[in-house]
Structure 1
């Protein structure tokens, strides 16, 4: 985990994300937080600057922000990139954002639910001609995984995804095989990207304060997956099945999903042994390469059936 230092550039002395400015905006617009939207605004200038720096932006690059809130992180992104597009679901925040970001003509705020927005079209319309785009966001805890997986699965033309999320989820993103945090989410994220937890963030630097600490994780997008799989859907099906009951062996989990016929357990045992994988192992011990081996063999088996 890298040690963040004060950036060399000169940001505005007191940005939108300072406690005073944030409270002024909230009071001016009579804004009240909605628990249903997981709204927690970051009010630490150093952390905001360093999140933006982690995206490695520049004047010929763009940034997609999800959930800009009051615009604190948006401001830092605008100071570092040629174009920022911020997608905000809460219509009440639109006039506040227009006010707070009036000095930044390179910012466009889009009202919408990022899970429903056509991101491929948005990228074509908003980021055409730029040298690269990164996603940067302080994500609501309750919807972190669906948003991140949409960004990864759509294979958007992004260089990296830098997100503030619940610390426990960040640990799962970056977990290695054999660790307590390693699971199907770890495999899915690492199939598309190289994760790095770059900083831990205490709950005290938000308003309102959440009950848990956060972490900033950077997902550097891979040019191609680290393993060759003949059928991606089957690969992820195998991964999910391997973790259905975490404490059960591969033999038990995969037999229930793929070898349900009478005598299926012995057939599953023979299949795993032919793959060079001990049936008594658990999913949490397998590498991406070993999951790929099982999935590819499973596909060949289905073709012969």
Structure 2
């Protein structure tokens, strides 16, 4: 039997589903300030996907859990929900949004910074990671190397 995380999902995939409604609303509000197509990474329980659908924009939502994707495709007809890994998915949408699996934060951030045609990435990460990227209390090599091309902002804790 596969282990469940305490927030739902499969622990071996790093799935901890975002269910806090004020956070979901805040992320959707941030996405609403952008323009263009959206790529949601880590669909999970579709809580954020449902908020993003209300924006009326081209939305592709991906998740690494094939069985979950199949169930969600049946639940949310008309939404492009696909079985895919963000480490290989083309980053060709204007906005990338998601609750980043904590154990994959660095590889995902490195990929976001290295490739893709996106204009905004709105990601939920561990507080310590968010502070480092925004340069609060010091910076890291990754943040310094990205600084000429990217800006990092903290929006909420």
- The answer to whether the Cα contact below 8 Å between 1:61 and 1:81 also exists between their aligned partners in 2 is no
Partner of 1:109: 81
- Structure number with the higher helix fraction is 1
TM-score (norm 1): 0.46
RMSD: 2.0
Query: Greater relative contact order: 1 or 2 (C-alpha under 8 angstroms, separation 6 or more)?
Result: 2
Structure 1 runs, 4 residues or longer, greater than 6 Å off: none
The offset of 1:57, in angstroms, is 5.1
Equivalents in 2 of 1:72, 1:135: separation in Å?
16
State the structure with more CA Rg: 1
The answer to whether 1:171 aligns with 2:131 is yes
The answer to whether 1:188 aligns with 2:141 is no
Equivalents in 2 of 1:186, 1:138: separation in Å?
20
Question: Equivalences for 1:229-248 in 2 at 5 Å?
Answer: none
Equivalents in 1 of 2:9, 2:57: separation in Å?
31
TM-score (norm 2): 0.85
The answer to whether 1:39 aligns with 2:11 is no
Unaligned runs of 5+ in 2: 1-7
Question: Equivalences for 1:69-108 in 2 at 5 Å?
Answer: 69-102=44-77, 105=78, 107-108=79-80
Unaligned runs of 5+ in 1: 1-31, 128-132, 201-305
The offset of 1:116, in angstroms, is 2.0
